[in-house]
Structure formats: C-alpha cells, structure tokens
Structure 1
Amino acid sequence: MASGKRASRTRTSQTRMSQTRTQQWRRICAHAIIHSTLAAGIAGIAHTAHAADADADAASAVANPTAPAGKATQLAPVKIMGSKTQGYAPQTVETGQYRGMDALDVPATVNVVTRSVMDAQGDTGLYDALRNVAGVTRQQLNGLAYDNLSVRGIPLDNRSSFYLDGLLPIDNNIWMPMENKERVEVLKGASALYYGFGAPAGIVNMVMKRAGSEPVTSISVLGDSNGSIGAAADIARRFGPSDQFGIRVNAMDEHVETPIEGDRGYRKFVSAALDWRVNDKLKLQYDLEHIETRVVEQAGIAPLAAVNGKITLPAMPDPSKLLVPNDRPTTASATSQLVRADYAFNDHWSAMLSLGQSITRRDRWAWVFQKYNVATGAGTLQGSRQFGQMYENKNVRLEVNGDFRTGPFTHTVTTGVVQNWLFQPDFATYTYTAAQNLYDPIDITTLKQSGSTRQFYAQHVRNSGVYLFDQIDITARLQVVAGVRRSEYMTSQAGTPNSDINHTSPSGSITYRITPQTSVYASYVEALESAGSAPATAVNANQILPAAVSRQQEVGVRTRLAGNTLVSLALFNLKQASAGTNADNVYAIDGNARYRGVEFSVQGDVTKDVSLTASTVYLDAKQIDSSDPTLVGKTPENTPHVTASLFAEYRVPVLAGLSVNGGIYYVGPRQVNNANQAQIGGYTLLSAGARYATRVYGKRVSVQANLENAANRRYWSAAGSNQLGVGLGRTLELTSTLEF
C-alpha cells in the first residue's frame, strides 16, 4: 500500500536482525555480569509492556469483533540477517535519517563496506575496511595505535564523527575491531539534520553483527609474518518458542608483533548483541562492546621550519625501525553500551527510544621527532606522557515515524529529539626529550624531562537538538524531502568562557526514479561544527570558538545492474568555514575553504564468479578567502586531488571453495600544511589474497592468506597537524577458521 511504504520500511529497519591475561579478562567478565543485570531490568520493563499489549489486544477485539482473535495490528515481517554473506553491494543504508532506505532512494553519498568485502580482505581495523571508500585517507598518524582519518580532505572528529549502530557516538582514539561488524558505512559531507554538531567530512557508522536465522559457531586462529598470534570466536543463536530471543557474541585475543622491530603489544575485545521480539509491537535490543589494547606508538615526524617559503623534507626512513623506547606503550580501553526499544502503534506509526554510553580511557605516550638535520638524520625525540585521559559520551534519542496522506500526496515523517553529553576530565602532559637519529635509530634507555607541565582542564559539552523531516511522494517515481533541525551546543571548561550556541539547519532533496532500477537526485544540506579552541600560544588561548556552518550541494545518479551491482556517480560542492591565528595573534574564524569534486563507485557481483568494489574521487579543494592573503588559492593540508581503489575477488570454478583476490589502492600527493610549503608524494599499494574452504568430518574448515603492501612500498602515509606518518611495511596475514 503506497501510504504505508515508508512506515513499512521503517518497521522493517526497526525489526532487522543482521546477522592470557587473567585479571583483565576477569574485568571483562565483571562488565558482562553488570550488563546482564541491566538486560534483566529491560526484560522486566518488557514484561509490563507485554501485559499492557495483551489488554490492548482484548480491547481491539471488542472494538472489531470481525477481526480474528489475537490478531491485533502486527509489525511487518522481521528481516533476518543471517551468517551467510550479503554480497559486495548493499540493498539498504543504516545511517542517520536514511536508516532502512533502499540505496537507490538515498539523496546523498553513502558508501557501504559489506561483511563479504571485509571477510575477503581479512580486515582487522577500521582503515582496512575504509580504504575501499574513495576520499578516505589517513590523517597525521600511520594507524599503528588507532586510525586518525580524513574524508574528502576534511579531518573527522574523533569524538563526534564515529557511531555504533547509527545511534551512539563513540570515541575513535582506540583500535576499532572489525570482526564483530556486519558493515561499515560512510555518510559523506554535511549531516547536521540527524547528528547535530560534527565535522562536515561525514559520519562513520559501524553496524554490529546480530543473530540470524542460522546458528553460528566458529573459532579462528590468527597469525602473521611478524609473529603475531591470536584466536577469535563468533557464536550466534536464536531461541524461544518462536525464536523471539537472539544473541551474538564475538571475542578476540591477540598478541601483536607490529611490522616495526621491537614494537609489540596486544589487542582484544568481547562484544554481545542481544535482541528480543517481546510481541508483535515491541522489540528490544542491547549491544555491548569492550576493547583493550596496548602498543608502542611510532613517532610522527615534524616538518622543519620553512626557509624562503619552502620546507625541505627528510629522506624516507626505514619503516621497520622503531624511533621511540619500546617500554613506553600506550594502553587504552573502551566500553560501549546501547539499549534500543522499537514500538509500533499501528500500521502507520511507530516510535524508537535509544540510550547509550561510551567510555574510552587511555594512558598515552605520544612521540614526535623534530629539530633534525635532513642530511644526517640527527635530531630530537620528544615524548608527551598523557595519563588519565578519558572520553565519555552519553546519548539519548526519542524518535517517532509515521505516514499519512494529504490529497494525492503521501507524507512519511520522522520527528525526534536527541541529546548527547560529552565529558573529558582534567589531565596533565609531561614532556621528555632524547637524542635520536632518523636514519640510524638507537635504543633509548633514558629520557630527560623538559619544559613545563601543560594542564588540560575538564571539558563538558552538551549537543542537543529537535528535528523534523518529511518525505513527500509526489508520484510513484518522484520524492521530495524537506527537513529542519534546531540545535543547541553548550560548552564549559575552566579558564575559558562558557559557550551556548543555537542554530537552525534546513535541508532538502529531490529524488526521481528514471526506471525502477535507476534514480537521480539533488540535495542541499548543512553541517554545524565547533571551530575548536584557540591554541595556548594565541592571545585568546583556550577560548572555544562559536559555531561554524558548512553548506553542501550535491547531485547524483545511481543504478542497480544485474547481480545486484550498484553504480553511483555524484558531483558535490561544500563550503566550510576555517579558523586560524591572524596577524594580531588572535585565533578566530577568518576564512572559508571550498571542496568541490566528482565521485564514482561500483560494487557487486559483476559475474557469477567475480565480485568487486571500486571507487574514485577527483577533488578540487582550495582556500577561497582568508585574513591571511598568502593562503588564498592554496590547497588545504593532507588533501589529495585524486584517490582511487579497486578490490576484486575471483571464485575459481574448477575448484569449489577456492577464491583469489587482489587490491589496488591509490592516494595522490598531499600538502604538508595549509601554506603549501611542501608536499608528500602519492603512493599505490597492492594487496593479494586467497581463501580455501572445504569440509572435514562434516565441519566447514577454511584457510586464508592476505598479503598487505605486497610490493613492500615505502611511503608517507599521512600529513596534517604538523606531523608526517610513515607507512608500514609488507605483512602476510594468516587465518584458519573451523565452523561447528
């Protein structure tokens, strides 16, 4: 029924179920006990709701005696996401206001990396998956400890740009496991309507695996050519008289030997995704993820001061040599919890309530190599000891979805209210130095404390908003969406003025189905972001700047070919306010940068035996105005004009169970700073892999090998924030999995 199309889609989304260190693991088990108690509390609430629903059913039977007994209004059938692969191309999108929509109807660039792609590549970290997404590059670091990322040249905010299940913001200052994720999505560009304040680079959404119709029990053994060794488990079950309960548990523990000599540590996680179809109207979900890591961070390399407007970069150092002491690791942990309830009032109206909390703790040693001689490599290593870091997000969202008609038009509306609290406590930074050589590193056994202690004062941020958007079906092919959000952004921090910012953000789009499998769209959206805080060297040190508004226009076309292959082409134009220190040494919003480009992607099964995902973006980014005239016309730092990727898998027909794959990933040259005083070269990385699956005594057994940086290319992996990152060397990764 046309009038119920979007509501049905929403309900389908709401009910979708997608598929040793003893003390540390005791802490994890304690977390699990606490969270099981919370789940029990939810069960009690649900029991009350179940009883209330039974009364409602009885009343409905009296009001409608012709209806069959016990047949009150039901939710749409549940779509089960099982353990079987879903292919390389997505059918739907699960991020923001587009949750549950057919990919052809989304008036924005949303790139989806599916479970099938991550399995074929053997992805273990976030950038492993996102290297398939055009325009995603590393920022500042090489990714050894965590993935600092940019999208289309704009840095993501590690505190507000990363989400779990599209609802809970999580902190990205830690390794993100991929073994327990069903998919990873990147909503590019401005996203203020649904997410409020955040970088206009976009949103990265990680969707948890859930129990499907088929039980899952698998154990994997992991290893690599550096000497890493570990194990992982994946268990999923549905149970109850009508399979109304579901649980999926993932866990991994790995001793890590990095491609850098003498740099070792560990990473581990445990996660659980629980769901309960309480009755035909109410569904509950609970997600838990706990991560622990320990690794020594390699030093970033600070570019030297410019001479006559030019910076001379050092020669490429050996990526296998550790520049820092191997007994000064960064230790981090993160725990994220999300509770969600979906309730259908009738065939046309439903509601969703979510509550979540994410806490990341980190004791960090951050390193920078600086003040060096380009010819000899002799210089100074500076270490910053930052213990007691914590990043906490608490989030609550209430949303109502429904549809109705006005004359010939069908309206599908979503309205909601959301509030997020971010807290970061006091911590101090202590600085140490030691002599080091970039080209011939020595073992560092002593550090000299230098400089004064720098204090970070506790910061409180409240990001809240009320939003409404309406999809109007003008005809069966033509849709118009109008939306508006009222946002409030409040900050407080000792030593700086409090800030209370209010802003109204509109958005709009139009989508037209040229054919049932081809659509075109045009959209206008806005982003809201805090322009950050003034540096300690500025006259207005530590002052939090007012809100900055970014505006984006985009047009695009998508088509779905045979084999569910999805092809997308988009042209975009985004204008972002920029901040900097002016001639009076005042840090302020003093200009605008423009990001304009064209993006193309294709993903799916192009033949029965060949699957691929490919993308490329050409980006024309420049500073269009500034209080510093020397910056006008320059390219923003760490922004390549071209990025491209191609990954393909071939299932060998003559030998069932065997597949081979290969990948090519290109990132163009990038400027090291906004003044364009030097640039790092572009690079092309190659990957190769093979998988073989068979049955042994009736059990499925698979073995897999993936070779990363197959040509052992030496390259600068990242620039930005006055640091350069050195890419990691070749690694052969091995996995063997037994499924019961």
Structure 2
Amino acid sequence: MKFLSSRSTFLTSAALTVFAHSPALATVAVAPEDRDYLPTTIVVTGEIEGYVEDDGSTGTKTPTPLIEVPQTITFITDDQLDDQAITQLADALRYVPGISLDTGEGHRDQVYIRGQASTADFYLDGLRDDAQYYRPLYNVERIEILKGANALIFGRGGGGGVINRVSKKAEFDNADVGLGASVDSFGAFDLSIDANTPLNDNIAGRINVAYEEFDNARDFYDGRFFGISPTLTFRLGDRTQLTAHYTYDNDRRVTDRGIPSLDQAPLAGYDKTFFGSADFNLATNVAHIAKLRLDHEFTDELTLNVSGQYADYDKYYGNVVPTGTDGTNVTLGGYTSNTDRQNWIGQANLVWDTQFGGVGSTTLAGVEVSTQDTVASRNGIEFDGSSTVTLQRVLDVPNVSVGALTRASNSTLDTFSAYVQEQLDFGLVELIGGIRYDRFDLTDLLSATRNNRVDEKWSPRFGAVLKPAQNLSIYASYSTSFLPQSGDQFSSLSDLDATLEPEKFENIEAGIKWAPRPQLFATAAVFQLERSNTTAEDPLNPGFIVLTGKSRVRGFEASIAGEILPSWQANLGYTYLDGEIISDTESAVAGTRLHQLPKHQIALWNRVDLTESFGIGLGAIYQDEQFASISGDVVLPDYVRFDLAGYWDVNDRISMQVNIENLLDENYYPSAHGNNNIQPGNPLSATVGVKLKL
C-alpha cells in the first residue's frame, strides 16, 4: 500500500495530451522525471490525474500520446492502486481483462496475456526484469500492460504482451513525507514510508521503504517482506539529467501450491487445507536492482537517453505439493529449487523529431546489449513414511528431507539488439513502421555437449492511425515476436531444444481510441494472435519431435478509464477471448480450447467522492469458466467477486480507508498451475488503513 498522497504528486507535469496538436492548447517545457523514453521537452496541457493516463511512450520509445499508438495499452495508476489498497502485482492484475493468473507454483508472478503464459515478460522502467519472484509495488508509480506481440520494442518473448512497472522518481517540485499503515482481518499488516525532497537546485532525492507481514485464510500461510528503494535525480545542465535508482527487496513466505482436483473440479470442502509441509514449504528471494539513466537534449528536436541496469536475484523455494486425490487419500510429491541470477543490461535510444515538407517525422534508432548468468539446481525430496496420506482437514504429512540432485544448470546468455522505427504524421493519417534485429546466444555450460544455440531474428512492426478528429483515432497494426526453444527463463538447454527453430508470434489488431475529454479515455479493439513453431510429436514417427504446433487466439477488448463525472473515477473493462490449438500436438489435438483462457472477463472499479471528505469505492470481477490445464480434464468454475471501499479525509494531513474484499463471500478459484495446484480465492475480508502526510 502506498501512503504518499498520489493526488498531490500524480504526474502533475508529465502528461502527454491527446490534443497535443491543437493550437488552442499551450505548449510548455517540462522535465518528465517519471517517463522512461521521453526527451525532456514534451507537450502538456495541464494536470491529468486519477485513473486515466495518456502517455503512450512505452509502446514506441518516443514521445507519443496514447491515442496515436496502434496497440492496446492498459494502465493501473498510483491513484487506483491506493484506492484498492493493493501492494502486490498479481492482485493489481486481477482487475485487468485479458490477463488471467497462474498460481506461479506459490512462489512467483506468472500470467497469461491473451492466452500466452509467461514468467518472464516483466519490465521495470522499460528494462527486462525476468527472474521468477513476487513483485511488490511500494516504489511503483503505475503499471502498464501492453497487449500483443511486439519484439521491436521489447525483444524476445512478450508473445501475448508485456507488463511494465514505472518506478517512482525523485522530483524537484515538492518536499513530502508520507507515512502509512494498514492491517487486515487475517492479521496481515504493512508499514511504508515515501519521502521526497529537493536537496538543492540540481539534486532531488526520494526514498521508499515498506515492511509487510502476510497472512490469509489458508492454514499455515504466513511470511514477510522488506523493501527499500532510494533514488536521486541530478540536473547536469539545462539539457541533461541523470537518474540513479537502487532497490533492495527481501521476501520470505510459505510456498502454497493450492488444492488438488476431484471429479473434474477443484476438491470441494478443503479450501483452507494446506497440502504441504508447514516446516518445509518455504520460498525466499533477495533482489538487488541498480539503474542509471542519462537523458540529454542535443537540440529541441534531437534527444538521447542511455540506461544501464544490474540485477542480482537469489531465489530458493522448497515445496511439498499435491499430485492427486481419490477423495479418500491424497498423494504428495515435491522438490527444492535454487536459482542465482545476475543480469547486465545496457540500452541507448536516439530520437529525432522534425518535419519534412509539412509531414511530421519521429525517428527512433536504438541498441540494447545484455548478459545473463544463471546457476540453478533442483533436488527431489524424501518422505519419512508414505507419500500417500489420508485426506482430512489438517493433513498428517510425514517429515520431509531434501533428496538427491535431479537437475543442475549453469547457463550464460548474451544478446545484442538494434532497431529503427519511423513515425510519419500526415495530419489525418499517421504511419508507424520499424524493424529490430536480435542476436540471441545461449550456452548451457553443464550440458554433456556444452549445448549452444545462436538465433538471429528480424522482427517487424507496421501500423496506421486514422485521426478524423484530434481526440479520435482508428488504427490497424501488425507485429511479431519470437521465443527461442528453451522456455522463457533460459536456465538450461537440452540437446533437442538446441536444434529447434524459435517459436513465433504474429499479432494483427484493429481498434478505436476516443478521448471525449482529457480526463477520460475509451478504447476498443479486435485482434488475432497466432503462435507457431511450438513443439509437437510427429504422428508418423512416435517419439520424434517436429515443429508443427500452432495455436490461435481471437478476441475483442473494450475499456473506459478516467473521470466519468466530476466526482466519479472509474476503470471499466471487458474482454472476449476465443483460443484453440489449430494443429495436433503431443499434448492435445487440433480444436482443443487453450487452458486458463476464460472466454469472458469483466473488471470494474469505481470511486465516487460523495463530499470533499468522504468517498466510496466499488469493484466487481467476473471471470468465465476455464480449463486448469491443456488436458481439459478439470474446469475452474466461473465466478463474480465484489469489492467495496470507504475513504475519509480527516484533514489535509490524515486520511483513513477501509477495503472489503469479496463482499458477498463468494467461493471461487481464480487461478491454477495444472490440474492439482488450484488456488482458492480469499473469503470475505477487510483491510483498514491510515495515511499521514507530514
């Protein structure tokens, strides 16, 4: 939960306007400290706050209003995160149609975006943050969800889209200290500090600190998190700015793999039962992330930004996991896993914004280099007794110890990317096109033959935007992405994976965007995403693998966000998804519906301020039924969940709020990781919080 009042600091000088070319609106120079790709002079029209955001720069790496980006982009602003009392990324994403959550084996963020699963398509300020862990939000300004394949901007992966967190930065225009605390009806609580101050005319500092203790309705579940994130902003002249950022996150919690299934459904009557060992199931992660970014204006038209990031992740988890039940007994399995990963990433972008004969031109040229070293191991486990135990309210799990090593890897990954993109503005019509070259060099140092694969891929992107009015656009786009054949974590490389062509993603999308006023934004889109080069068993030669696997997702998405009425903020969305395998694979035949792909999703969140001091919030999530795995043997039922909130500003410095989750105490199952790792949703619960602004 973030406790520095976002309504006093929310992007007050950094909003791109959807009416940017209107001669009636003013143009001013600002320093966009919370933007990752913009030059330091952009066009703004005033303060835009609440649940709306019109910055499309993450989708283009250029100063582009959202209405001119030919792609679906969803925002969760700091105001919305505050109003929903959300501290973890997965909880925020529940309110984003088109995304369904995997349980992540109880130790990591894992999502399905437009039917494509990923543990790696996460970014922090536009740079890859791909380790497997739970991401906190105490130092985050907003969350951006970019839908559809787009390797030109992000490189490999991102088949269904990517999730980018924008960090809080040190600002020169305010000196604030925000303190806060909250506690919920399970006993979980959190404390936080958000302090920002200009140190002098040329240096500003900010620090965010958070401490949380976890609890929920599940037996034996607990944990704690500590994070600290200082940042400095330096003015190195009228046209140069340097930002330094460091984050230390330390997370420790019970590894909860959920419940098994029975008779094609989640096992009934055991939503609180822990199907693990309270002494053995543990997940820990320590993350260090350090970043530097330099922004420089050569002229008003030509700008450069250079970023560097070092990240170190030390991850462990051990788990006892349910593998199945017959209604009388339950069978258990498990393992332990250690991962140590270091990433170095460097990125540079040159942006040239000019005109030729009355035609606006924005040219992007960029390079990115990275190296990643990963040492990982997995051990089996041994039970002091039978691994099959009697099914009862509290399981009698025998003592567990670490067994023999079953897997080990030591991999190194080096990448080089270069990309160019051109945006042409003819007034009524805008065109965008570009291409990216990626060289991907992965070596498994522990494989018997020191397996290595080198992929060199070209990824294009094309789009056209028709603007019959400055606040209305109609667009169509085509984009691609790729994923080398070694999973999305690239910790090992088998003999087979080293020989196969990368998976390919092709996204076709058409949509409309409309901003009836600067504080309100609506969008709708239809799309088709095809995934090919997935591995499949050769039907003529059983035991041999060929590249014939294909799947396709077609869908429709609509949303509206912002100020519906002067006292009513909302973020409302709907998604329809129809996905299936379109060629026979070793897992399922053509025509099989993709798993964890609910056909209909609705997410609604509203805040209404009844007076200057009192407000209420109301949210609803509907998720259609979905298969827990590609087998189609287990169905997660559809559900509706309602949330409620109340807000009271005691005075200018103190505010209080209460958030009620699952108001009607719905029994539901929002996520799974296969047929026997199904996560029950929390029952009715309440969180009470207080914020103090010094």
Q: How far apart are residue 445 of structure 1 and its match?
A: 5.2
Q: Which residue of 1 aligns with 2:17?
A: none
Q: Which residue of 1 aligns with 2:13?
A: none
Q: Which residue of 2 aligns with 1:486?
A: 437
Partner of residue 529 from structure 1, selected from 483, 494, 507: 483
Q: Deviations over 1:149-180 (max 9, x none)?
A: 11111112x23x111111x2113522212122
Question: Distance between the aligned counterparts of 2:345 and 2:248, measured in 1?
Answer: 18
Determine whether 1:417 maps to 2:356.
no
Q: Which residue of 2 aligns with 1:549?
A: 504
Q: Deviations over 1:546-592 (max 9, x none)?
A: 31221111111011123611000001111101324445334443221
Q: Which residue of 2 aligns with 1:400?
A: 350
Gaps of 5+ in 2: 1-19, 22-26
Judge conservation of contact 1:317–1:438 (CA < 8 Å) in 2: no
Q: Which residue of 2 aligns with 1:147?
A: 109
Question: Distance between the aligned counterparts of 1:406 and 1:94, measured in 2?
Answer: 22
Judge conservation of contact 1:140–1:723 (CA < 8 Å) in 2: no
Larger mean CA deviation between 643-652 and 669-678 belongs to 669-678
1:186 corresponds to which letter in structure 2?
Answer: I
Question: Distance between the aligned counterparts of 2:650 and 2:393, measured in 1?
Answer: 48
CA distance 1:75–1:543, change in 2 (3 Å): closer
Determine whether 1:356 maps to 2:309.
yes
- Structure 2 SS opposite 1:509: strand
Gaps of 5+ in 1: 20-73, 305-310
CA distance 1:733–1:585, change in 2 (3 Å): farther
Q: How far apart are residue 344 of structure 1 and its match?
A: 0.9
Q: Which residue of 1 aligns with 2:300?
A: 347
Percent identical among aligned pairs is: 20
Q: Which residue of 2 aligns with 1:672?
A: 628
Judge conservation of contact 2:614–2:647 (CA < 8 Å) in 1: yes
Partner of residue 573 from structure 1, selected from 503, 508, 528: 528
Q: How far apart are residue 405 of structure 1 and its match?
A: 3.8
Judge conservation of contact 1:631–1:674 (CA < 8 Å) in 2: no
Matches within 5 A, 1:359-398: 359-373=312-326, 375-376=327-328, 378-386=329-337, 388-398=338-348
Q: Which residue of 2 aligns with 1:504?
A: 458
Q: Which residue of 2 aligns with 1:63?
A: none
Question: Distance between the aligned counterparts of 1:455 and 1:629, measured in 2?
Answer: 23
Matches within 5 A, 1:101-112: 101-112=64-75
1:456 corresponds to which letter in structure 2?
Answer: A
Q: Which residue of 2 aligns with 1:428?
A: 378
Question: Distance between the aligned counterparts of 1:582 and 1:13, measured in 2?
Answer: 61
CA distance 1:684–1:580, change in 2 (3 Å): farther
Q: Which residue of 1 aligns with 2:41?
A: 76
1:502 corresponds to which letter in structure 2?
Answer: E
Matches within 5 A, 1:141-180: 141=104, 145-156=107-118, 158-159=119-120, 161-166=121-126, 168-180=127-139
Determine whether 1:16 maps to 2:32.
yes
Question: Distance between the aligned counterparts of 2:28 and 2:270, measured in 1?
Answer: 52
- Structure 1 SS opposite 2:179: strand
Determine whether 1:468 maps to 2:427.
no
- Structure 2 SS opposite 1:129: helix
Partner of residue 605 from structure 1, selected from 563, 566, 587: 563
Q: How far apart are residue 525 of structure 1 and its match?
A: 0.5
1:686 corresponds to which letter in structure 2?
Answer: F
Q: Which residue of 1 aligns with 2:649?
A: 693
Partner of residue 277 from structure 2, selected from 304, 310, 325: 325
Q: Deviations over 1:603-655 (max 9, x none)?
A: 111111111101111111111123559610111121111111001111112xx
Judge conservation of contact 2:451–2:498 (CA < 8 Å) in 1: yes
CA distance 1:604–1:629, change in 2 (3 Å): closer
Q: Which residue of 1 aligns with 2:188?
A: 228
CA distance 1:588–1:303, change in 2 (3 Å): farther
Q: How far apart are residue 490 of structure 1 and its match?
A: 1.2
CA distance 1:251–1:533, change in 2 (3 Å): closer
CA distance 1:449–1:182, change in 2 (3 Å): closer
Matches within 5 A, 1:624-703: 624-627=582-585, 631-653=589-611, 656-695=612-651, 700-703=653-656
CA distance 1:102–1:79, change in 2 (3 Å): closer
Q: Deviations over 1:691-713 (max 9, x none)?
A: 11122xxx611111111222232
Q: How far apart are residue 292 of structure 1 and its match?
A: 0.8
Cα RMSD over matched residues?
2.9
Judge conservation of contact 2:222–2:254 (CA < 8 Å) in 1: yes
Matches within 5 A, 1:242-253: 244-253=202-211
CA distance 1:315–1:675, change in 2 (3 Å): closer
Question: Distance between the aligned counterparts of 1:672 and 1:256, measured in 2?
Answer: 26
Question: Distance between the aligned counterparts of 1:571 and 1:528, measured in 2?
Answer: 22
Larger mean CA deviation between 610-619 and 208-217 belongs to 208-217
Q: Which residue of 2 aligns with 1:564?
A: 519
2:161 corresponds to which letter in structure 1?
Answer: G
Judge conservation of contact 1:208–1:273 (CA < 8 Å) in 2: no
User: May I ask how many residue pairs the two structures share in their alignment?
Assistant: 653
CA distance 1:411–1:230, change in 2 (3 Å): closer
Question: Distance between the aligned counterparts of 1:526 and 1:486, measured in 2?
Answer: 12
> Structure 1 length as normaliser, TM-score?
0.83
- Structure 2 SS opposite 1:508: strand
CA distance 1:598–1:341, change in 2 (3 Å): same
Judge conservation of contact 1:17–1:80 (CA < 8 Å) in 2: no
CA distance 1:75–1:639, change in 2 (3 Å): closer
